[in-house]
């Protein structure tokens, strides 16, 4: 078993979303409470996950998140802070970097790409 939380973190937390990068090399999961995206690398040979790190969602209660179709951006719907925040995805390392793009919207709960 692998946890979505960093070692030593003991606050209240639930999870919500899981996404796999289009490359199949990384898995992302959201933490409500820790307010982060957990990042895992997928071992090519075994399929086992190993921790890469955690990226704060820049808001509160990540209700939903999604990778754009090419997997270059990840968008987080922070329900209780009324924001959708965009992150750049490093496709070789799996890490996330905030782009500075934040959309204010009342209680976002999903993201759809048309």
Per run of 10 residues, the mean pLDDT along the chain (length 114 residues) is 92 94 98 98 97 98 97 98 98 98 96 92
**Encoded tokens for 113:** 């790409």
Question: Interior CA angle at 49 toward 59 and 110, to 5°?
Answer: 35
What is the pLDDT, as a whole number, of residue 24? 97
Candidates 29, 34, 28, 32; CA nearest to 10 is 34
Ordered by where they begin, the domains of the chain are 14-104 (2.40.10)
Strands (E), 1-114: 14-20, 26-32, 36-42, 49-56, 62-67, 73-78, 83-89, 96-104
Cβ–Cβ < 8 Å for 28, 18? yes
What is the pLDDT, as a whole number, of residue 33? 96
What is the pLDDT, as a whole number, of residue 114? 87
């Amino acid at each position: 078993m692998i946890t979505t939380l960093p070692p030593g973190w003991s606050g209240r937390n639930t999870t919500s979303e899981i996404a796999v990068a289009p490359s199949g090399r990384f898995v992302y999961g959201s933490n409500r409470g820790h307010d982060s995206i957990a990042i895992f690398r997928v071992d090519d040979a075994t399929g086992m996950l190993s921790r890469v790190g955690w990226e704060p969602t820049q808001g509160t209660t990540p209700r939903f998140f999604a990778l754009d179709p090419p997997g270059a951006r990840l968008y987080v719907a922070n329900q209780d802070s009324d924001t959708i925040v965009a992150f750049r995805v490093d496709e070789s390392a799996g890490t996330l970097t905030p782009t500075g793009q934040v959309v204010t919207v009342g209680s976002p709960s999903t993201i759809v790409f048309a």
